């Protein structure tokens, strides 16, 4: 899997006279390797959309990334009236980028619109718990959940942004994508769909926000799928920040004198997900022995150490260890054993191995490593690589037998954000196991923390025993930045533009 990359001498030569225009014109130029579908936070599942969403929109509640403390954002106070009713006092004096005043109507309209399945929010799992939102007075609302949902406060800190109701009612998700309007520390002044998103500092950002007002005047976000192009732009001074750089490349970029390189662990987990339902495109995967063969075929410890690097950690359950309810206790584990994988295939009637289409959409070197491990164990995998939106469409249409999935849980520190999207019977669940669905539903809705943990543990054990997925590791992120940029990364993979400044 080793690739020929730029030598240290080549890096130094390319970086001999980097451009310094970004600092002079007070603009941070950031590139990402995926194309965003829609900047409206409810109609996007790509990490870039989460990044933009946090800078342009505000949420009702904010979770401090350093302390995990909940703080008031658009809401100033909140309390549970009963197991299904959450009441929130709203902040006064906030205005959206188009001048609309923020009040209860914005909260009620936004939540009722996006939680209605007929409106087809892409992140439906993030709002499906909402029954309805009600206005009590101009600055007080109640959210009534469909069933008890103790993780509601956590969800209100992340993907649930608030839109201006009058504007959103007029333009809808399409218009919000073309000309977005939020209330956050940055506003979008230009969106060339599929290419660039340009932000400007919101000079009228409301005082008292836990986000703080931005100090850098402009942020230019470019969608550049090719990693080598990103690196070349960093070396030439055309970019100031890139992320998720392969470990070998990141180590070599340390030689460039005008760049700084740093890494850190993230909440993003990596796993292989199988389609084993009634419409499974590869019937061989219906046999649990075949799925277990995959689990024995992959050396996840070696991949985490060699391909991901510092900050990565091996996982044994399809959730991130810090999430409430995530555990590997009592969860079956599969040691790296290609001979055992071949034996399981033979036992299932495939002594000559199986042919399989394997789909990925990011971290291609890791996907290719998985393919090589599979082939060595008798699984003749053929790689199909595509953008996330296309992969998700194929996956939900039951056309992908097995996929290399990564999932950041929208930065939500609750196991419902990682387990439920894939094993609770909704769009991305390719197993529809009634026993697992019942356990996850119990865990998601119980108000007793001990019962929640017990139900998640049972669900995770069944998922592993029946090998519906192969959990591998949590990713780290390698960040490359202009050394003049003062920037602190967090495990949620969010470059907080509002906190950045020039040294």
DSSP string of 44-100?
--SHHHHHHHHHH--BSEEE-TTT--EEESSEEEEEEEETTEEEEEEPSS-B-TTSP
Task: Give residue 273's pLDDT.
Answer: 98
Ranges of H-type helices in 260-336: 288-297, 300-303
The pLDDT score that the predictor gives to residue 492 is 87
What pLDDT score does 16 carry? 46
Q: Are 445 and 439 within 8 A, CB to CB? A: no
Whether the model clears a pTM of 0.75, i.e. scores above it, the answer is: yes
Question: Per the structure block, which two tokens stand in for 295?
Answer: 């689990």
- Burial grade of 61 (CB within 10 A; 0-12, 13-18, 19 or more): buried
Lookup: tokens for 500: 């950045």
pLDDT of residue 10: 52
Longest dimension (CA), the chain: 70
Average pLDDT of every residue of the chain:
93
Can you list the pairs that 207-210 forms with residues at least 24 positions away whose Cβ atoms lie under 8 Å? Answer: 208/91, 209/58, 209/62, 209/73, 209/185, 210/62, 210/64, 210/71, 210/72, 210/73
Q: What is the pLDDT of residue 6?
A: 52
Sorted by sequence, the CB contacts under 8 Å of residue 117 that are 6+ apart come out as: 124, 128
Residue boundaries of the structural domains of the chain: 21-258+483-502, 266-477
Angle of helix 338-347 relative to helix 288-297, nearest 10 degrees? 170
Q: Is the pLDDT of residue 4 over 50?
A: no
Average of per-residue pLDDT across 51-56:
96
Residue 309's pLDDT is 86
Lowest mean pLDDT among 122-126, 215-219, 416-420: 122-126
% of the chain surpassing 90 pLDDT: 85
pLDDT, residue 124, reads: 86
Q: How far is CA 70 from CA 9, 30, 320, 452, in A?
A: 48, 29, 20, 21
CA distance 232 to 180: 31
Pairing state between β 241-242 and 379-385: unpaired
pLDDT in tens, 381-404: 999 999 888 999 999 999 999 999
What would the two tokens of residue 97 be? 């980028």
H or E element, residue 106: helix 104-114
Give the model's confidence band at 50: pLDDT under 50 very low, under 70 low, under 90 confident, else very high.
Answer: very high
Burial 434-462, CB ≥16 within 10 A → b, else e: eebbebbbbbbbbeeeeebbbbbbbbbbb
pLDDT at residue 157 is higher than 80: yes
pLDDT band, residue 148 (cuts 50/70/90): very high
The pLDDT of residue 22 is: 67
pLDDT band at 186 (very low <50, low <70, confident <90, very high): very high
Query: How many whole angstroms separate alpha carbon 495 and alpha carbon 501?
Result: 12
Helices (H) and strands (E) in the chain, counts: 16, 19
pLDDT tens-digit map of 455-490: 999 999 999 999 999 999 999 999 999 999 999 988
- State both tokens at 410: 């929208």
- Whether 242 and 30 have beta carbons less than 8 Å apart is answered as yes
- Going across the sheet that includes 75-82, the strands are 75-82, 85-90, 140-145, 130-137
CATH code, residues 266-477? 3.10.105.10
Q: Are 377 and 341 in contact (CB under 8 A)?
A: yes
Query: How deeply is 248 buried, as exposed, middle or buried, from its count of CB atoms within 10 A (0-12, 13-18, 19+)?
Result: middle
pLDDT tens profile 314-358: 999 999 999 999 999 999 999 999 999 999 999 999 999 999 999
Q: What is the mean pLDDT of residues 292-320?
A: 95
> Would the pLDDT of 278 be above 90?
no
- Looking at the predicted structure, is the pLDDT value of residue 147 above 90? yes
Contacts of 101 (CB under 8 A, 6+ apart): 94, 95
Angstrom distances, CA of residue 115 to CA of 50, 98, 126, 158 = 18, 24, 9, 15
What one-character-per-residue DSSP string does 468-497 give? SEEEEEEEEEEEEEETTEE----TT----G
Q: Return the percentage of the chain with pLDDT > 70, whole number.
A: 96
Least Cα distance to 240 among 20, 4, 54, 476 occurs for 20
463 within 8 A of 423, measured Cβ to Cβ: yes
Q: Which CATH class is domain 21-258+483-502?
A: alpha beta
| DSSP state letters, 327-374 | --TT-------HHHHHHHHHHTT-TT-EEEEEEE-S-HHHHHHHHHHH
225 has a pLDDT exceeding 60: yes
Q: What's the pLDDT at 1? A: 34
pLDDT band of 24, cuts 50, 70, 90:
confident
* Average pLDDT rounded to a whole number, residues 85-112: 98
Answer yes or no: is pLDDT of 447 > 70.
Answer: yes
Q: Residue 8 has what pLDDT?
A: 44
How far apart CA 58 and CA 54 sit, in angstroms, is: 7
């Amino acid at each position: 899997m080793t690739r020929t990359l730029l030598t240290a001498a080549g890096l130094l030569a390319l970086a001999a006279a980097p451009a310094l225009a970004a600092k002079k014109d007070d603009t941070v130029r950031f590139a990402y390797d995926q194309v965003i579908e829609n900047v409206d936070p409810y109609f996007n599942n790509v990490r870039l959309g989460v990044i933009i969403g946090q800078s342009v929109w505000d949420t009702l509640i904010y979770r401090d990334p350093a302390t995990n403390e909940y703080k008031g954002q658009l809401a100033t106070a909140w309390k549970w009236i009963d197991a299904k009713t959450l009441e929130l006092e709203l902040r006064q004096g906030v205005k959206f980028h188009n001048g609309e005043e923020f009040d209860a109507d914005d909260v009620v309209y936004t939540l009722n619109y996006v939680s209605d399945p007929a409106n087809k929010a892409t992140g439906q799992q993030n709002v499906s718990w909402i029954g309805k939102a009600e206005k009590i007075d101009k600055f007080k609302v109640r959210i009534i959940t469909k069933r008890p949902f103790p993780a509601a406060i956590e969800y209100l800190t992340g993907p649930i942004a608030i839109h201006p109701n009058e504007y959103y009612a007029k333009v809808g998700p399409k218009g919000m994508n073309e000309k977005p309007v939020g209330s956050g520390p940055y506003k979008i002044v230009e969106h060339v769909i599929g290419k660039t998103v340009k932000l400007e500092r919101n000079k009228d950002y409301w005082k008292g926000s836990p986000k703080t007002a931005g100090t850098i005047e402009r942020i230019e976000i470019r969608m550049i799928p090719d990693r080598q192009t990103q690196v070349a732009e960093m070396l030439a001074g055309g970019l100031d920040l890139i992320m998720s750089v392969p470990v070998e490349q990141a180590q070599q970029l340390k030689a460039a004198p005008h760049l700084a390189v740093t890494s850190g662990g993230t909440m993003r987990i990596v796993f292989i997900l199988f389609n084993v339902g009634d419409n499974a495109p590869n019937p061989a995967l219906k046999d649990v022995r075949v799925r277990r063969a995959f689990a024995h075929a992959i050396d996840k410890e070696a991949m985490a150490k060699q391909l991901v690097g510092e900050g990565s950690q091996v996982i044994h359950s399809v959730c991130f260890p810090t999430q409430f309810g995530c555990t590997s206790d009592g969860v079956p584990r599969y040691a790296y054993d290609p001979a055992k994988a071949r034996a399981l295939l033979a036992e299932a009637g495939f002594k000559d191995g199986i042919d399989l289409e394997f789909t990925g959409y990011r971290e291609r070197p890791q996907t290719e490593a998985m393919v090589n491990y599979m082939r060595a164990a008798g699984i003749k995998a053929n790689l199909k690589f595509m953008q996330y939106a296309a992969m998700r469409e194929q996956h939900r249409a039951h056309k992908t037998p097995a996929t290399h999935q990564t999932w950041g849980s929208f930065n939500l520190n609750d196991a419902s954000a990682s387990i439920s999207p894939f094993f609770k019977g909704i769009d991305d669940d390719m197993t529809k196991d009634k026993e697992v669905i019942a356990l996850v539903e119990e865990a998601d809705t119980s108000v007793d923390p001990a019962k929640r943990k017990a139900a998640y543990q049972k669900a995770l054990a069944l998922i592993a025993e029946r090998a519906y997925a192969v959990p591998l590791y949590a990713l780290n992120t390698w960040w490359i930045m202009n050394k003049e940029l003062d920037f602190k990364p967090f495990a949620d993979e969010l470059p907080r533009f509002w906190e950045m400044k020039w040294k």
